[in-house]
């Protein structure tokens, strides 16, 4: 019998070191009273809405990326025992590498990932680990910024780079690819959808500040060259040119949400 080939290692799109530094910086910025966390709050509200719609009442939940603490507080108020984890943990949180198996037993009837899975190199592997960490009949809900996000920033950076456009925004997952991944990774009743969140900005600097505060700066393994003063000036000019009559630019965040259950899959009928 022929020996099967070894599994292929996923390509290194993101730098684990830069990703960890990016998230550590984000956690530090979140300590500021004016830090932006509207994406995490929107994702947390969506998780609660889905739980209510599905009438799923978890007793033990694993929360990853709940940087505002909103979801943890809401679930605790419902009598759910909450375990918090993060790739850059604070006090009271467990360290987590999404590309490694969860070290404990499969005992969570809810796993919610907020904003962290968009920059892992092995997304299918991360989803398999989440599936295996669920208790029977457990539910996983995973949200992050997917395809279609930050179109205004893309246009501004193309203008800033001029004739030599550089890779500055990482690849993003769309709804169809997300649904296919859920099926491949063994989730029952997989659901993949996207919703738009529009935010208006009066300055390019504030847009960048909000992105850094929410862990959305670049962590590509091969980032583009430093923009420099001339490039930054072109970016600011392009941002100003895109402003509406109120002097603001609308940026869009396409929040991709994947959900699925840990249930026995039905055997196909022939």
At 266, the pLDDT band (50, 70, 90 cuts) reads low
Using pLDDT thresholds of 50, 70 and 90, give the confidence band for residue 270: very low
Higher pLDDT, 130 or 2: 130
d(CA 43, CA 143): 7
Spatial contact of 118 and 106, defined as CB atoms under 8 Å apart: no
Residue 73: pLDDT band with limits 50, 70, 90? very high
- Is pLDDT of 95 > 60? yes
Inside any domain, residue 163:
no
pLDDT digit string, tens, across residues 137-149: 999 999 999 999 9
Residue 265: pLDDT band (50, 70, 90) is low
- Residue 105: CATH number of its domain: 3.40.50.150
Q: What is the pTM of this model?
A: 0.92
Residue 185 lies in a domain: yes
**Residue 157 lies inside a defined structural domain of this protein:** no
Are 263 and 136 in contact by the 8 Å Cβ rule? The answer is yes
Q: What is the pLDDT of residues 207-252, one digit of tens each?
A: 999 999 999 999 999 988 888 899 999 999 999 999 999 999 999 9
164 is a domain residue:
no
Cβ(126)–Cβ(118) below 8 Å = no
Measured CA to CA, the distance from residue 163 to residue 220 in angstroms comes to: 21
Q: Is 55 exposed, middle or buried (0-12, 13-18, 19+ CB in 10 A)?
A: exposed
Residue 76 lies in a domain: yes
* pLDDT reported for residue 3: 53
The parent domain of residue 133 ranges over: 16-29+36-149+171-199+252-261
Average pLDDT of the chain is 92
Nearest-angstrom CA–CA distance, 217 and 184: 29
Mean pLDDT of the 161-183 span: 88
Is 159 inside a domain boundary? no
**pLDDT at residue 110, rounded to an integer:** 98
The DSSP call for residue 53 is: H
Cα distance between residue 47 and residue 91, in whole Å: 24
102 vs 164, more confident: 102
| Residue 137 included in any domain | yes
Query: In the chain, how many domains are there?
Result: 1
In this predicted structure, which of 112-126, 184-198, 211-225, 236-250 has the lowest mean pLDDT? 211-225
Asked if pLDDT for residue 164 goes beyond 90, the answer is no
* Residues sharing a CB contact under 8 Å with residue 238, sequence separation 6 or more, in sequence order: 155, 156, 159, 160
Answer yes or no: is 23 within a domain: yes
Give the pLDDT confidence of 14-45 residue by residue, as tens digits.
Answer: 999 999 999 999 999 999 999 999 999 999 99
Q: Which residue has the higher pLDDT, 194 or 162?
A: 194
Annotate 80-126 with DSSP letters as a single string. Answer: -EEEEEESS--TT-EE--TTS--SS-S-EEEEEEES-GGG-S-HHHH
């Amino acid at each position: 019998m022929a020996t099967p080939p070894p599994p292929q290692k996923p390509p290194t799109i993101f730098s684990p070191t830069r990703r960890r530094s990016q998230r550590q910086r984000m956690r530090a910025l979140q300590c500021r009273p004016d830090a932006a966390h509207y994406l995490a709050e929107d994702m947390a509200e969506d998780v609660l809405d889905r739980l209510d719609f599905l009438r799923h009442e978890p007793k033990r939940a694993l929360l990853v990326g709940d940087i505002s603490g909103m979801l943890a507080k809401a679930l605790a108020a419902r009598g759910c025992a909450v375990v918090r984890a993060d790739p850059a943990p604070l006090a009271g949180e467990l360290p987590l590498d999404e590309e490694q198996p969860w070290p404990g037993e499969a005992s969570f009837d809810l796993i919610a990932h907020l904003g962290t899975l968009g920059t892992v190199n092995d997304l299918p592997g991360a989803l398999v680990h989440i599936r295996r960490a669920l208790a029977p009949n457990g539910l996983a809900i995973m949200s992050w910024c997917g395809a279609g996000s930050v179109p205004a920033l893309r246009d501004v950076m193309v203008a800033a780079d001029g004739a030599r456009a550089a890779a500055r925004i990482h690849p993003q997952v769309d709804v169809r690819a997300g649904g296919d991944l859920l099926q491949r990774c063994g989730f029952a009743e997989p659901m993949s959808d996207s919703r738009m969140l529009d935010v208006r900005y009066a300055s390019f600097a504030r847009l960048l500040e909000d992105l850094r505060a929410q862990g959305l700066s670049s962590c590509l393994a091969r980032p583009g060259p430093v923009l420099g003063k001339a490039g930054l000036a072109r970016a600011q000019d392009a941002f100003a040119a895109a402003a509406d009559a109120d002097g603001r630019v609308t940026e869009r965040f396409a929040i991709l949400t994947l959900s699925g259950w840990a249930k026995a899959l039905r055997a196909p009928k022939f």
